Structure 1
Amino acid sequence: MDSFQFGRRVNYWRTRRRMSRQEFAYLMGKSLRWVEELEGGRRQADPQLSVMRLAALRLGITLERLIADVIDTECVEESEIDAVRRALHRHDVITGACDESSAEPPPVEQLRRSLTYARTGFQAGHFAQLGSAIPTLLVDATRAAQHHRGDDQLTAFELLSLTLELTEAAAIKWGDTEMALIAGHRAVAAAERSENPVIMASAARHLGDAMTNHGQAAAAAEFVLASAHRLQAELLRSGPDGFSVLGMLYLKAAMAVAAAAEADDDNPAAHARRVPGFLDEADEYADRLGADGNRLWTSFGPTNVSLYRVATHVQLSEGADAVAVAAGIPTEAFNNLPKERRAHLLADRALGEMQAGQRGKAVDTLLAAEELAPEEVQCRPRTKTTVENLRLLGAGSAEGRLRSLADRCGLPR
């Protein structure tokens, strides 16, 4: 087992035990920085057996369970989602007005490491652990933005905006679009305080995503397009980071108008006609970037544009077209994407296969997604709806596999 995998195991069980990093550091006889590096996979190439045994002892599990290849999938608990809501509703988090009794925030670089770790976990498909990580990040980032001055304060506002983006993204996975909308609005406000156009564009694409998922798709499209037009010149001067977030704004615009088409009973075609142009615009920025990347956790590049082509086809109920685009994505490019992106694509492809009447294939595609990122299938309401619809429609020879999947998703028989 390499250090990254072991670090993930430790973080999973520490979080499950409701143990802070500082408490675990004390139990291990190590520093907080040591635990951060351990969980981030930066201690050594292969963890020492003595360290693994002591970690298992302190976490109250057997060594075999700590290093097992498969971790039991647990969805985020409602109490943890409530904890995130409470953090968003705290007076100091809303106003930024920390009183003199507030604890001094961590240095911005320590805050950046914590955020990077949480964001990396999200892209690995580990959404449940964010329920306990986000409240602390929100409070620490808010205090940092209030406490620091000069360049450190601007950096703190960047990190606060990025933390609120993560909150928005997690809330979408949990199916809480109202929370996503609140976090998205706050991310945009914090980004403006950072004075960084790349952060502003990044926050705008997250708010656009939240608005679309909350049933405000037409407004979302206009918002992200206004952001793209306002920030375009500065983003083009910002190099790869700028190309990435600018391209993502057009991808979010494409998804928004596709959703608007689905919601408009009077003239859906008017919205649908705009989709290809926005996707082509994003493709131009992907070409400028030259390759797939993951700047600011965008996963932006030619392959992610293809993922959005699949997603918009599915949104427009064009299942056969979605399946055709997904089939054309090169295997190597697919494998180089973060697990969350790969599982998301497979979930979209499965929905496209269901729309195209290929229900047995849809089940197998969902099983492949589950193998990559179990929480994307077993815990996400959107994907569970696909599983339930497949069960109602029937899946032919895949019925047995579908029943087992539905059981793992916790769906009633």
Structure 2
Amino acid sequence: MEDEYKAVLEKKILEESFIGVVPKAGSDPELGDLKEKLEKSALFSVKDLKENIEDNEINTLIAKIDYMDNEYEVEIRVLEMTDLLKRSVESYNSLSGGYFSGYMEKINQSSSMIMTKMFYDNIPIEAYHLQLKVLYTLSSDNYLVVDMSAYKLLEGEQLEMIASTNIPPSPGIMYSTHYVPENGVAWLHTHGVRRFGSVEFEFLNIKNELAEKCNNILNTVVVNAIVNGPKDEEEVMKIGYSDNVELEFAWIRWEHAVDVLAQKGLFGKKKSFIGDLKDRTLENGELDEHTRPSGVLLASIKGELKNPNEYKNNFGDNMMLYYSTDETIRMSLFAKENFYYFENIFENQKNSNGWSFLVKIGCRYEEDSEERFEHMWFDIKEITENTVKGALINTPYFINDMKNGEEYELSREDMSDWIIYTPSMTINANNVYMYNKLYNNAGSERNS
């Protein structure tokens, strides 16, 4: 039997992506109407549309779509909102910490869900974006997006924002990370990453106090894998820099990791811990979803792969994590395209208590006769047509003539991200639609 890990990494095995929407409309969508919407869409070009007919009724549409010079196939069904589907949505809400609880009563009253299935061949991040654009084309007014592959939910307003641009959304919304603590240690693991031609990723048997830092590292590895493809097993990745130490990690398959990371107890017997085989086995003895290909991240220290707990003295507060060039470009384009939100909210709330406005800027420096960028955050005090002025809140690693706390005027062209802290939430380029919901559209409109 072929090694499943190798088959996943070589894209010989592709996992389907199942994403649906729960429309607000009272009546069930008709496949004939959905077909017409697809054919008229300005977001992509439908090259072929087939109907799968059973019992004299169309139950599936199969669309071949040209998008960004690539061809993709999407299957579309209208599903009855069964008790099983409702329980799935409720479980995803629980995994989110109950964030979507306000929608649950409406979901329980809904009668249908529009479901799509895709394989992410060609460019995976582009394929994900297309799948959401197809869903928005089929239904533009929705309660929730239900990402069954990632066990997560998105709000209907966020789908509208994602579909309105040709810049893919943050890879951070394309998967979920589950945190499972027990006896002072934690198991972090992802869902939804395999559909991008990668293994899932995990941290096992890490100390609880390191969970937040390890989660940031996990997110960096996953985002880079989604955008540029995963690294091979045991291939060392330079993840970031912290307290003058370069952070290096590699992954090994979970089947090996549970053995490597187990501590020995009495008479040399290995101790059980959260995330080992017992937690990947159902009550009936069958193996569950967590036994599929998944890579456990280990720290590479002096050429040896070790438990990340040994990095504990190097996980400082000024950790800098590396994203790929492609992801940095995407972030920059997305931040600049949506900066008008930041500007308008800044003008309305800059003097309000409890608000702060941060912009990340790629600051130039030279190393080995090459121009490089150190991306750092600035607390913004003033915005002009071409620049932002603010105080540096990081301690630079590579630029000696810039100091934490000092103010600088910087070009908006070098922006790579932005964030707004409010008394009640954190706003960024990906969730800025939330401002309208909380603050009644006060100054977040696009200037015409």
TM-score (norm 1): 0.28
Larger Cα-atom Rg: 2
Structure with greater strand percent:
2
**Which structure shows the higher helix fraction?**
1
Ranked by relative contact order (alpha carbons within 8 Å, sequence separation 6 or more), the top structure is: 2
| TM-score, with structure 2 as normaliser | 0.27
